[in-house]
């Protein structure tokens, strides 16, 4: 079905806005999905702070090219569905991977993605699904940064603990010998 020029311009403006607000996009090929399956995918994407559109290949190529990106031609084969990620791309990549597993072979196939201005192949886009979340990465970085400081505190405190133990042993020895530890210190 042909789309009027005014509708195309409105769609291009919408897609440009979505691309501008996105941290990345996931692109897939879909065939024969029912309306309920599409609605399920859209609902699950909204839960991950994403928005899904069925996009004409020519319009997608146009907005990506106008954004200064050079997309690979294999993204524009067959039908195309695009998920714009408004937060992190990893949860939407996981959603696409899971949805592809749930569907019959060939009905939903991840074509690729876009992350930080770099196009991802299908394998790279699926690999993004295995990336830890931002919070987990931050915790790992902080743990790495804190590790030397924690080890230093442990080493220093163990040295102090050893000195205290030696002094306590000396005091105990003086007390056993019947001496006055206070007088011995003076």
What CATH number does the domain containing 71 carry?
Answer: 3.30.70.1730
The answer, yes or no, to whether residue 9 has pLDDT greater than 80, is yes
The verdict on 172 and 145 lying in the same domain is yes
pLDDT single digits (tens) 69-126: 888 888 888 888 999 998 888 888 999 899 989 888 888 899 989 988 888 888 888 8
CA–CA separation, 38 vs 161, rounded Å? 65
The verdict on 19 and 79 lying in the same domain is yes
The verdict on 67 and 124 lying in the same domain is yes
Rg of the Cα atoms in the chain: 30
pLDDT single digits (tens) 124-167: 888 888 777 777 778 888 888 877 777 777 888 887 888 888 88
- Tell me, what's the pLDDT at 53? 92
The verdict on 116 and 142 lying in the same domain is no
Residue range of the domain that includes 176: 137-185
The verdict on 171 and 113 lying in the same domain is no
Band (pLDDT 50/70/90 cuts) for residue 51 is very high
pTM over 0.75: no
Give 93's DSSP letter: H
The answer, yes or no, to whether residue 177 has pLDDT greater than 80, is yes
Band (pLDDT 50/70/90 cuts) for residue 181 is low
- Tell me, what's the pLDDT at 185? 52
The answer, yes or no, to whether residue 59 has pLDDT greater than 70, is yes
- Tell me, what's the pLDDT at 183? 53
Distances (CA, A) of 63 to 52, 103, 170, 174: 16, 29, 80, 86
Kind plus residue range of the DSSP H or E element containing 52: strand 50-54
| Structural domain count of the chain | 2
């Amino acid at each position: 079905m042909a789309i009027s020029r005014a509708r195309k311009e409105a769609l291009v403006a919408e897609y440009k806005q979505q691309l501008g607000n996105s941290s990345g996009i996931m692109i897939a090929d879909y065939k024969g999905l029912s309306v309920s399956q599409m609605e399920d995918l859209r609902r699950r994407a909204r839960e991950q702070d994403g928005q899904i559109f069925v996009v004409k290949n020519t319009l997608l190529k146009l907005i990506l090219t106008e954004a200064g990106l050079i997309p690979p031609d294999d993204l524009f084969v067959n039908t195309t569905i695009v998920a714009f990620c408004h937060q992190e791309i990893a949860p939407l990549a996981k959603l696409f991977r899971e949805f592809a597993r749930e569907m019959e072979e060939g009905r939903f196939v991840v074509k690729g993605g876009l992350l930080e201005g770099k196009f991802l192949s299908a394998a790279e886009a699926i690999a993004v699904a295995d990336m830890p979340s931002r919070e987990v990465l931050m915790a790992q970085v902080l743990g790495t940064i804190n590790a030397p400081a924690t080890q230093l505190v442990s080493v220093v405190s163990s040295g102090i603990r050893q000195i205290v133990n030696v002094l306590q042993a000396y005091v105990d020895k003086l007390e056993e010998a019947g001496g006055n530890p206070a007088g011995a210190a003076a």
